Amino acid sequence: MKIYEKLQNMAQERAGYFCLLDPDNFNGTQANELAALCEENGADGILVGGSMMFHDRFEENLRKIKESVKAIPVLIFPGLFNFVSPYADALLLISMISSRNAQMLIGEQVRATPLIRKYGLEAIGTGYILIDGGKPTSVQYMSHSMPIPHDKDDIAAVHALTAEYLGHRLVYMDSGSGAADSISESMIRCVKREITIPLVVGGGIRNPETARAKAIAGADFIVTGNVLEKDTVSTLIREFAEAVHSVTRK
């Protein structure tokens, strides 16, 4: 079964939990250990990527992550599309539909597709929507994109609907790494009412209670990243997973 089909099936049963690992922030051993902790403590998948690469660790750390997990998918979450590698189960083929920067809408994707085909990666078309998280973030700066204002639920919803009509199979709403504020439950509810494809929400989610609230509002998958880099104890990962998994759809 394709990774996307598995995600679809999961979203029909309950909310899912992804751990986002930035390979620039770990050495190979650390990446291996953290990925194993994520799997052992209930994560439904691991996203690997970041807005930039200062250190040349992407390929090495992705391989280590893939080697350390057995039962959950490893998905590339590319900031720029030179982050393509065979050491993953799938890649989120992101079009930053909240941007008006052509490089983020289509340019990077054109560069990536020959490698995606070469490596036989499953490409999951994803409409990415950047939401203002209360302070400038790396993704905003690197993409030269203006985020959708935090309180403009209708603007976010119409972008999400456009993503679905364009044929994307996921909508990913993100307030960015290190955001001061997470995306509001009001915006999540508004977006979810307008689309039929799975909704992924990340950025600024620092505790399990907040994660659960986003899932109740309609997020099919919750993503945490920075909080795990600061505190990698297994109990925190498990608390996030249990909080998200408690939100069922039937």
d(Cα 26, Cα 41) in Å, to the nearest integer?
A: 20
Q: Classify 3-245 by CATH class.
A: alpha beta
pLDDT of residue 52: 62
Average pLDDT rounded to a whole number, residues 204-227: 95
Phi, psi of 220 (to 5 degrees): -80, -30
Q: What are the domain boundaries of the chain?
A: 3-245
| 74-115 tens-digit pLDDT | 999 987 667 899 999 999 999 999 999 999 999 999 999 999
- Please check the confidence at residue 40 and state whether its pLDDT lies above 80: yes
| 147-202 tens-digit pLDDT | 999 999 999 999 999 999 999 999 999 998 778 899 999 999 999 999 999 999 99
